[in-house]
């Protein structure tokens, strides 16, 4: 994240779903995503009412039965976005190019999350919570939820999270301490991640589609982020006048003004199927090490026999293809 840390605020595409009414997953995989279908794992199961999935780890294409109005869906999780940026980089394209390609093929965006990373925090989440509790906040959201945790083993606190709005609404904002989340995820000291807040703007359905059209037209993220923040949230300083005349808090004014310098940051990740490797390391490797030690001491060959006489399934064969193939050979060039 070194490049991101040079800027006070950086934005990333953190999640998206885009649906297509036509049922032609080959066209979506090859013409829209630009990925060779041969490298995707096929499963006859899916979510959201779809019946099957083609997946390259966290890059997923879901399809429906013939005649179903749901058609086809592209879903990229946060990790999927980072993995797809590897393909965008190889094709010398940007997210804006991908958005345009989706629209040209009849795509409708039903979910778009923009994550804004703040490595030199303009404010602490405790300060934000205090402002809200003192009612020094004007917002269009009807509900605000605080979440925090404590580790009962050492009584160290976990990270704070603040949710603005309902997850069912078209716009939902989440502030949280990303450094705490990463430290817990990787079991590393908090100090390794420095100060790090993340602000996520989550848009659905019509708001997501409107945001995508704005991004395609203007080729920048700051306008979308600034519009949502300005329209939905403001922190103020209490005075002895009606609250409509309360001035915007200086820290919030500075934060919003610096959105004018917001830049899109990409972090291509080619670590496909890392979750599977981590699962093997955490749950299988200790037993494998035990068998290996037993073989070494007794002069047996059980571990190698297990490996040699095991058959890979189609999933493992596809994963192996991805591991040993250069990314350039997995993409379709125009």
N-term to C-term CA, the chain: 31
Give the model confidence (pLDDT) of 266-293 as tens digits.
Answer: 888 878 888 788 878 888 899 999 999 9
The structure's pTM equals 0.88
**In degrees rounded to 5, what are phi and psi of residue 59?**
-95, 115
Give the tokens for residue 124. 């602490």
**Locate tokens 């840390």: which residue?**
5
Per-domain residue ranges of the chain:
2-264, 274-328
pLDDT of residue 1: 47
**Locate tokens 């125009």: which residue?**
334
- The CA distance from 35 to 328, in Å, is 10
Give the model confidence (pLDDT) of 211-242 as tens digits.
Answer: 999 999 998 888 888 899 999 999 999 999 99
Handedness of CA 226, 227, 229, 235 (dihedral sign): positive
The chain-wide mean pLDDT, for the chain, equals 92
CA angle, 173 then 177 then 178, to 5°: 95
Reading phi first (left if > 0) and then psi (alpha if -120 to 50, else beta), residue 143 is in: beta
CA angle, 244 then 250 then 253, to 5°: 80
């Amino acid at each position: 994240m070194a490049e991101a840390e040079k800027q006070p605020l950086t934005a990333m595409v953190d999640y998206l779903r885009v649906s297509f009414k036509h049922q032609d997953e080959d066209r979506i995989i090859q013409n829209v995503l630009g990925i060779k279908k041969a490298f995707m794992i096929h499963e006859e199961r899916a979510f959201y009412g779809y019946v099957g999935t083609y997946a390259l780890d966290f890059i997923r294409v879901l399809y429906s039965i013939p005649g179903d109005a749901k058609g086809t869906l592209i879903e990229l999780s946060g990790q999927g976005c980072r993995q797809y940026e590897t393909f965008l980089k190889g094709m010398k394209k940007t997210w804006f190019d991908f958005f345009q390609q989706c629209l040209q093929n009849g795509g409708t965006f039903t979910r778009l999350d923009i994550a804004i990373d703040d490595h030199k925090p303009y404010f602490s989440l405790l300060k934000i919570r205090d402002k809200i509790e003192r009612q020094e906040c004007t917002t269009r959201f009807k509900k605000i939820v605080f979440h925090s945790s404590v580790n009962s083993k050492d009584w160290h606190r976990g990270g704070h999270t603040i949710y603005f709005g309902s997850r069912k609404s078209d716009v939902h904002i989440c502030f949280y301490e990303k450094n705490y989340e990463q430290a817990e995820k990787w079991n590393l000291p908090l100090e390794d991640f420095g100060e790090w807040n993340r602000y996520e703007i989550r848009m659905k359905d019509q708001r997501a589609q409107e945001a995508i059209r704005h991004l395609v037209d203007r080729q920048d993220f700051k306008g979308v982020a600034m519009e949502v923040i300005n329209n939905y949230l403001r922190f103020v300083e209490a005075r002895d006048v009606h609250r409509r005349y309360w001035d915007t808090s200086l820290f919030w004014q500075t934060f919003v003004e610096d959105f004018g310098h917001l830049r899109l940051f990409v972090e291509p990740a080619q670590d496909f199927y890392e979750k599977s490797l981590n699962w093997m390391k955490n749950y299988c490797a200790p037993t494998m090490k035990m068998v290996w030690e037993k073989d070494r001491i007794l002069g047996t060959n059980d571990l190698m026999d297990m490996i040699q006489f095991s058959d890979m399934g189609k999933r493992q064969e596809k994963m192996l293809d991805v591991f040993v193939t250069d990314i350039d050979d997995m993409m379709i060039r125009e």
